[in-house]
A = this chain, B = another copy of it.
């Protein structure tokens, strides 16, 4: 026998549960029934908070996107040489990814089947372009190599950063030796070192 849990959710706490379910089952594979079961409240209680699962997706990816775009407004992303600003943005991207892990994970898995998903993909592309512009400016200022095409370099750097969602776990323990105990600071430094200096030892 199951006892219906009293609905003590706010849109925010409901979002936390929904994001977890979306990540586990995929957004397409999640029904209101799944959300209701995971939250332990009735479907109509969920509808009391939101219009449906698409609103939950929109709130979740908005949170990730707002944090990412917020980086570009920070002082160190606006002042200094393009190379310095780029390094700041790369470091902050890694920090945001780790701090907002489930939200960024969901954002990165968006496919584009619904209006909200297409909007999220468009915003992601816009963010990518902003970072590519910074890379282009750093190359023009002569601080960044120009023998790798900007768009390709951006894709590869984003690829490295975004892959962190596959293994980073805040507690350093994911039961499979996941993060291998790497702390937040260590990951940020490692990415900055590899992205800017590569593996080769400075001679």
Contacts and interface: CB of A to CB of B under 8 A. Distances in A.
A143 interface: yes
Give the size range of A's interface with the partner: 35 or more
Interface string A136-158: 00100011111111011101111
Given A156-B194, A194-B157, A199 B145 contact: yes
Contact of A199 (B142, B164, B189, B196): B196
A195 interface: yes
A193 interface: yes
A202 B202 CA distance: 9
Nearest to A138: B199
A149 B200 contact: no
A173 B115 CA distance: 24
B182 A152 contact: yes
Contacts of A38: none
A30 interface: no
Nearest to A178: B155
B149 A190 contact: yes
B145 A193 contact: yes
A152 B29 CA distance: 33
Contact of A143 (B155, B180, B201): B201
A59 to B, nearest CB: 25
A197 B194 contact: no
Contact of A147 (B193, B198, B200): B193
Interface of A: 26, 29, 83, 86, 135, 138, 142-149, 151-153, 155-164, 166-167, 180, 182, 186-187, 189-191, 193-202
5 nearest CB pairs, A to B: A159-B163, A198-B198, A160-B160, A197-B198, A148-B190
